[in-house]
A and B are shown apart, each in its own frame.
Chain A
Amino acid sequence: MKVVVDEEKCCGAGTCVLLAPDVFDQRDEDGIVILLDERPGEGLHKIVREAASVCPGAAITVSENA
């Protein structure tokens, strides 16, 4: 799995960080997403997919076979 985030689309709602704090974080200065782990381990795949699907800005893309 490969994760990509789009800072331009991110609205800083922090939904991904609440779900998967090992994969996503937010910049202290404005709350915009920081990707900590672009290839998360298998144990995190389900929650990362969930983070992508509930992101209010549609700023997270997950490629399953990359």
Chain B
Amino acid sequence: MPQSHTDPLPRFPFGAEAALEPPAEWAEFRDKCPVARVALASGDEAALITRYDDVKSVLSDPRFTRPTAADNAARVADTESGGVFNSEMASVLPQHGEDHLTWRRMIGKWFTAKRMNALRPGMAAMAGRLIDEMVAKGAPGDLKAGVAFPLPVWVICDMLGVPDTDRERFAHWSDVMLSMTRYTQEEFDAAQTEFGRYMGGHIAAKRAEPGDDILSALIADGAGWSDAKLAATGIGLLIAGHETTANMIAKMVAMLLADRSRWEELLADPSLVRTAVEESLRLDANAGVGMQRFITEEFELSGTVLPPGTTAMCSMAAANRDERAFEHAADMDLGRSPNPHLAFGAGAHACLGQPLARTELQVVLEVLLRELPSLELAVPAAELRPVEGLAVGGLRELPVRW
């Protein structure tokens, strides 16, 4: 909201009252202050962008870059180095222009729609096994720990060629590296070092004995990538490939069960799975901090001139509920089409793994509808607890019955 100079800036991200409901501030800022001065967890100031058209412009415009350490941009985390976007890992990977494009295209070929479709049967079989194991333990069960987390970990580990049995270890490193308020600089540095050493070990093993996986292929045709670049790529894919999707599976199922008429609509017409997945992505109220961009020249957005040196914090989740872009934006419409939501970002840095995430979300929903049609929440939706203090949002657990 508009403030006088003496007021402290609003803190971003805003706290949520309930895990599945958006913070009230999103609508207020979209309507009254679409480009707002806020303070991040670090205390650094950023311009919070909440309208659909503005977020899309910032993410799509090459004048807005991903901040590098030299930019001295606002930091999302309260540690001195400022969290995952300012990490050593982020600095090893090319962030702009031709080098970024080359890097991205070398990875992109592993995430084509064709490859994703080929992974479907394996994913469905794995989802079935995980559901069977959860059911065997008896209701109520935690669908997050039992299905939502292990499925994407297994998939990305298989693609990278690392064992998914190590998942508890890298889930911890990943949590620390995505933290905005929960860990110290020492803990962050230790997690990054240990994760780097772990990935370095796998890279050395693949240099000696290549397998049919992304890391081996990058070693073979990566034009002499350094071990640091290979490790940063592997860590980036491992974190991005499981944390976001694991959380989204749980949030999607929670949204569909919170009003069980949605689940019943899908049972009656499973052809709605694809659009229901997109609508869940659009309505994610607990998506995490958003995307940071930095600009070195003036830029006008919704009547506000951003000065050079501005760090823009794009809230895709707030933009996805903008009435200017979506009819009945607050309503969950399982057949909404088209649904040009920004959950995966937009432009040159749009999520590389989006076909993988979509495929995983669709497959897990199809299998759940088929295997557990009687699925329901085991607690009232209002009692679901959000994860706090990480750059990626989610539920702590998803208690269900069937």
Contacts and interface: CB of A to CB of B under 8 A. Distances in A.
Contacts of B358: 15, 18
Interface string A38-58: 000000000001100110111
Interface string B335-356: 0011110001111111110110
Nearest to A55: B340
Interface stretch (B35-43, B110-118, B122-130, B367-375): B110-118
B401 interface: no
B346 A31 contact: no
Indicate the size class of the contact surface on chain A: 20 to 34
Contacts of B185: none
Contacts of B347: 11, 56-57
Nearest to B342: A56
Nearest to A11: B350
B244 interface: no
B105 interface: yes
Chain A residues touching B, majority SS: loop
B339 A54 contact: yes
Nearest to A24: B113
A13 B345 CA distance: 11
A26 to B, nearest CB: 4
A56 B278 CA distance: 14
Given A12-B104, A30-B106, A50-B337, A56 B112 contact: no
A17 B118 CA distance: 13
Interface of B: 60, 104-106, 108-109, 111-114, 116, 337-340, 344-352, 354-355, 358-359
